[in-house]
Amino acid sequence: MVEVLKVSGLEKRFGGIVVADNIELALVEGRVLGLIGPNGAGKTSFFNLVCGVVKPDAGSIVLNGQEINSLPIRERARMGLARTWQNLRLFQSLSVLDNLMLGPRDYSADNLLNVMLRPGHVAERERDSRDRAFAILERTGLTEIAHSPISDITFGQQKLVGVARALMNDARCLLLDEPMAGVEGQAYALIQRVVRDIAASGVAVCVVEHNVAFIRDLCDEGVFMFAGKVLARGSVESLIADPLLTELYFGT
């Protein structure tokens, strides 16, 4: 059980709103953790804290055994942390393929000197990235629309592009924020399979999702969050069977 990501004592509040209340959580190699909880529970905020989008008030975040609290977003990504966004955040002026092309941890043109002085080297890296991108597009069933602009594809396809772009990182830790929201029928099985394959290859995965059936089918374990607190951890079955949690979830 290798802990890829370990969060301890994580605290964050926005004014009066507590989004992280002493969170203790670990993501383990090869396993999929489901994160559930009502709207405003702090699920997305948890991802934002882990990624460095939001700075915690207290607590530590350890990735691959290294504390990353003070690292900027890009450094965390380069250590193998990848995520999708609840509101997609795809690059609208790039094609599907070019969205993916920007995703490798080491991008072909990260070094300007290489761009200027070693164009052959950069071109070779671009070719490698393109091959990888096409392999991932195939896995996610997006090959047909590789050259389409983002605005020309369906919402479900856009969700998949977000996942595909995150996969380009070859991440050790993958955070998926509501991959199923707004996605129709047949993508269900596809996303299930893709996420399972990723986990099977040794990645630590965390999925936020309101589609409880999806989480139940996919995840090895679940965590229930409410008002920034981790209230319970266990099998997804047991979490959704708990009347107290169900009440909190539906707010009745």
Ligand X SMILES: Nc1ncnc2c1ncn2[C@@H]1O[C@H](COP(=O)(O)OP(=O)(O)OP(=O)(O)O)[C@@H](O)[C@H]1O
Residues that bind another protein (CB under 8 A): 51, 53, 72-74, 77-78, 82-83, 85, 89-95, 97-99, 101-110, 112, 115, 119, 122-123, 126-127, 130-131, 133-134, 146-147, 149, 165, 168-169
Residue 55 binds which entry of another protein, Mg ion, ligand X, none, with Cβ cut-offs from 5 to 8 Å by kind?
Answer: none
Place of tokens 């009347």: 243
DSSP code for 95: B
DSSP code for 113: H
- Closest CB 63 distance from ligand X, rounded Å: 20
Place of tokens 């529970």: 41
Query: What part of residues 38-77 is at the interface with ligand X (CB under 6 A)?
Result: 39-45
Please answer whether residues 228 and 215 qualify as being in contact, where contact means their C-beta atoms are separated by less than 8 angstroms: no
Place of tokens 């207290």: 58
Candidate segments 33-41, 58-66, 92-100, 137-145, binder of ligand X by CB under 6 A: 33-41
What sign for the dihedral angle of Cα 106, 152, 211, 192? negative
Residue 165 binds which entry of ligand X, another protein, Mg ion, none, with Cβ cut-offs from 5 to 8 Å by kind?
Answer: another protein
For Mg ion, the nearest residue by Cβ is 44
Candidate segments 85-93, 150-158, 233-241, 244-252, binder of Mg ion by CB under 5 A: 85-93
Nearer to Mg ion, 84 or 95 (CB): 84
Candidate segments 43-51, 73-81, 88-96, 186-194, binder of Mg ion by CB under 5 A: 43-51
- Beta pairing class for 3-14 and 17-28: antiparallel
Nearer to ligand X, 153 or 226 (CB): 226
Nearer to another protein, 134 or 188 (CB): 134
Residue 40 binds which entry of ligand X, Mg ion, another protein, none, with Cβ cut-offs from 5 to 8 Å by kind?
Answer: ligand X
Nearer to ligand X, 54 or 79 (CB): 54
What length is written for the chain?
A: 252
What sign for the dihedral angle of Cα 170, 177, 5, 73? positive
Q: Tell me which of 5, 12, 37, 44 binds Mg ion, using CB under 5 A.
A: 44
* HEC assignment per residue over 152-209: HCCHHHHHHHHHHHHHCCCCCEEEEECCCCCCCCCHHHHHHHHHHHHHHCCCEEEEEC
Distance of alpha carbon 43 from alpha carbon 225, whole angstroms:
7
Q: Which residues form the interface with ligand X (CB under 6 A)?
A: 14, 17, 19, 37, 39-45, 86
